[in-house]
Amino acid sequence: MAILKVSRMGHPVLRQQAQPLTPAQIRQPAFQQLIDDMVDTMVDYEGVGLAAPQVYQSVRLIVLGYPDADPENPDDLPLTLCINPEWESLSEEKELGYEGCLSIPDLRGLVPRSKAVVVRALDRKGKPFTLKADGFLARVLQHEVDHLDGILFLDRMQDLSSLSFLEEYYRYWHKKED
Ligand code: ZN
């Protein structure tokens, strides 16, 4: 187990198209270790999602959620990992919501995302699964999959007028969201 360094905006790895993983690569102990290290890193940085390019690995792997999620609490996303994820929108509608990113520290901004998506991916054993998601989970999934295509949330903002530093976000905008 290790806590990895998180790449920040400006590092080229965040702008690359990440490579899909083969079943043989998924079985490698080093890759299984990367999964566990990414979960530890996400928890340590208090993030809700992390994509492999954010730890300098240009491969199609994302982790999201909380390892100690409370199943009774719908805001507590269960720990999920997706290898080679692909998603499709299940909704015509897009919804604006604030996002932040461990690779863009201390900023929040409003990003339009599909309200509901279906994701197809492989689990850590290489087994395919399908996940339907809406609301916050759908948002986090779209944000993390974007990282695999070299896209950051700033690229998705319609305009930059909502962009806030964290302190100002909590002071002026956090409560107005609900
Ligand atoms: Zn991010």
**Residue 151 scores a pLDDT above 70:** yes
- The answer to the question of residue 73 being in a domain is yes
Q: For the chain, how many residues are written?
A: 178
- The answer to the question of residue 142 being in a domain is yes
What is the whole-number distance in angstroms between the Cα of residue 157 and the centre of ligand 1?
13
pLDDT of residue 158: 96
pTM (two decimals): 0.95
Structure tokens at 126: 């290489």
Q: How many CB atoms lie within 10 A of CB 78?
A: 13
Q: Tell me how far apart the alpha carbons of residues 157 and 70 are, in angstroms, rounded to a whole number.
A: 31
**Residue 85 scores a pLDDT above 80:** yes
pLDDT of residue 115: 97
Contacts of 92 (CB under 8 A, 6+ apart): none
Nearby residues for ligand 1 (ion, Cβ within 5 Å): 101
Residues with catalytic function: 144
Kindly report the CATH number assigned to the domain that includes residue 16: 3.90.45.10
Biggest alpha carbon distance in the chain? 49
Listed residue (94, 88, 137) closest to 114, CA to CA: 94
Please tell me the number of Cα atoms within 13 Å of 148 on its side-chain side.
22
- The answer to the question of residue 105 being in a domain is no
pLDDT in tens, 22-62: 999 999 999 999 999 999 999 999 999 999 999 999 999 99
> What is the percent of the chain where pLDDT is above 90?
91
3-state DSSP call for residue 19? strand
- The answer to the question of residue 165 being in a domain is no
**Residue 178 scores a pLDDT above 80:** no
What is the whole-number distance in angstroms between the Cα of residue 143 and the centre of ligand 1?
6
Mean pLDDT of 167-174: 95
- The answer to the question of residue 133 being in a domain is yes
What is the whole-number distance in angstroms between the Cα of residue 6 and the centre of ligand 1?
10
- The answer to the question of residue 169 being in a domain is no
**Residue 162 scores a pLDDT above 80:** yes
What is the whole-number distance in angstroms between the Cα of residue 58 and the centre of ligand 1?
14
pLDDT of residue 73: 83
How many separate domains does the chain show? Answer: 1
Q: Which domain holds residue 46?
A: 12-94+115-158
- The answer to the question of residue 80 being in a domain is yes
Mean pLDDT of 139-162: 98
Q: How many CB atoms lie within 10 A of CB 44?
A: 12
- The answer to the question of residue 99 being in a domain is no
Structure tokens at 16: 């690359």
Q: Tell me how far apart the alpha carbons of residues 22 and 52 are, in angstroms, rounded to a whole number.
A: 15
